[in-house]
Amino acid sequence: MRKGLRFEEYLKWYKKNGIYEETLAPRVIEKICRIHDIPLDSIRIYPRFMLDTGKGKIEFDMILKYVDGRGKERLVGIEFKIADFKKVVEQALVRREFVDYMYIATHSGIWFSGQFDAFFLMLYFGIGWILIGEQEVFMAMKARWNSRTTDKLLNVLQSLIIQKFKNELKNKSLEEWLKNS
């Protein structure tokens, strides 16, 4: 990972390079740090960061990096969007597996107008939501911790269990298998 910016360095970078979609991004960072009890001076900020996943590159609007109280490096991903709720949720879902916490930051005027599927996916996968107002940001939902390794282990275990049941059912009827179980 390239060298991240300290908050004060980011403020200078933001004044020069910030775009409308990232309105109040410094306040979004402050809100996330406050909610997760992360000292602002301990984070490194990676705006518009291109992450090499090993399968290709994925661009994050922003990544925050810090070390928690147990000495573990943690990553927080943030995707900003002005108007397309479904798209920002889809982007967050794709990026979620590479970070410990994932947030979307949308302008407060955005609403999911009937896009309940995207909203429920966001809830299910623990993606946080920050609303950006005229001068302030609001935490609508705090992101849940995503154990990147735990998810992979659960997927492997699930595959092994499914394979075991397939092997057991291979030579038996379902009725026969249920009777013997």
- Please tell me whether residues 142 and 152 are part of one structural domain: no
- Please tell me whether residues 48 and 133 are part of one structural domain: yes
Q: How many C-beta neighbours within 10 Å does residue 85 have?
A: 19
Q: Looking at the domain assignment, is residue 1 inside a domain?
A: no
Which phi and psi angles does 39 have, rounded to 5°?
A: -60, 130
The total of structural domains in the chain comes to 2
pLDDT tens digits along 61-112: 999 999 998 999 999 999 999 888 889 999 999 999 899 999 999 987 776 6
- Please tell me whether residues 142 and 155 are part of one structural domain: no
CB 10 within 8 A of CB 45: yes
Instruction: Supply the pTM of this predicted model.
Output: 0.79
- Please tell me whether residues 81 and 15 are part of one structural domain: yes
- Please tell me whether residues 89 and 178 are part of one structural domain: no
**Domain limits at 83?**
7-146
Q: Looking at the domain assignment, is residue 162 inside a domain?
A: yes
Q: Looking at the domain assignment, is residue 125 inside a domain?
A: yes
